[in-house]
Structure 1
Amino acid sequence: MENKDKDYSHIKGWGIDADPKNDPTYPMRKRGNDDHTGYNWDRPTQQTETIEVLHSVERPNVTAVFGTSKPPKGLSGMIRRYAFQFGEGQFSHWLPLIVADRVDAIEGIVEDLKSGHIPNIFAEKGYKAQWKYNRTGVITKVAVATAVTTAVVLAFRRKCKD
């Protein structure tokens, strides 16, 4: 097999990193241990933990500063605690977190209803803007939701008759 040099100059951006003088990472490769003085920094003072803070199993402790506005609670909190038993490189970490977000949204609606506040889901989900700028998408979503709901209702009715 022959290794021929081909001309790729017609491809926009081809060979942009071929010149070491134009490589933004190039100076980093030439540094020695004495050149890293600009990288030293002092860790910020550790924020006190007044609530439960979930952190990755890959970290020995929590970060110096963290958010406290939404501590884990309820079913979504239990799902989050389960997810943080796994490393960040695993689906068993990320998929439960996605589910926990959905469960948390439903828990928020239930809390609103318990406190006597009826949420305006139409406005909160931005359906007015969607209707204005993506009308076909809204119609498609409504049609699919109607079809799925109808299929589920018919399946339950058939099951109840049996």
Structure 2
Amino acid sequence: MPYTADKPGAIPDPDELRRRIPGWGADLDPSDRPAFPREQPGIHTGAHWDIPEQQPHGAGRERSIEHNRLTPVFGTAQPLHGVSGLIRRIAYARFSEGQTPHWMLLILGDRVESTGAHVRSLFSRRPDDPVTQSGVLGERSRHPIASRFGRGRVDVRHMWLDPLLVVGPWVLAAVAVTRIGRVAFARGGRR
């Protein structure tokens, strides 16, 4: 749903919010805000514009459907490319940022990009080393058990998934390369 001027539902009373949420409204008093003196009218900031001029070459940049136009200034260092870029463009073109499919498509695009990077690494002169680059060896000398369980970490429940997510793609890639090699070897032996 695009942003609208209508506010959904009833607005809670500030006193009720203070009772319910610890620290709510801590910055309501302007004197408590660090930037307050800069917010005063009449202070010269040096800006020669109300809205910055639009950065050129915005065609093809992703823009949420909630916004009428692209932001005046945007990054160009990592342009979208390939299948992952197509997935991300679909996320921005079809779904609002408030919808789950938008974020799930962005995560899928990220996974496709990282899988492509792993595959490119396998066929390069210096492939990634999942053992040393994941930090597994550092765990031996840095109190591995105490650092995992002794500090009240909230991720203990799904910690068993970490090895699967780190090593799993490498195992799948090794199985795929082995199968492709067997098929190629079998076809080469028949000739």
Is 2:90 aligned against 1:87? no
Is 2:107 aligned against 1:98? yes
Bigger Cα Rg: 1
| Letter matched to residue 129 of structure 1 | G
Q: Aligned-pair distance for 1:114?
A: 4.3
Q: Cα gap change, 1:48/1:124 in structure 2, threshold over 3 Å: closer, same or farther?
A: farther
Q: Aligned-pair distance for 1:123?
A: 3.4
Q: Which runs of 4+ in 1 moved over 6 A?
A: 14-18, 143-146
Higher relative contact order (CA 8 A, sep 6+): 2
Percent identical pairs in the alignment equals: 28
| Letter matched to residue 68 of structure 1 | T
Is 2:132 aligned against 1:123? yes
Q: Cα gap change, 1:50/1:129 in structure 2, threshold over 3 Å: closer, same or farther?
A: farther
How many residue pairs were aligned? 124
- Superposed CA offset, 1:122-155 (max 9, x none): 3333333344446356x95548978xx8xxx9xx
Q: Aligned-pair distance for 1:97?
A: 0.7
Q: Cα gap change, 1:26/1:73 in structure 2, threshold over 3 Å: closer, same or farther?
A: same
Would you say the 8 A contact 2:58–2:70 is kept in 1?
Answer: no
TM-score normalised according to structure 2 size? 0.48
Gaps of 5+ in 2: 1-20, 32-39, 149-158, 176-191
Gaps of 5+ in 1: 1-13, 29-34, 154-162
CA RMSD between the two structures = 4.0
TM-score normalised according to structure 1 size? 0.55
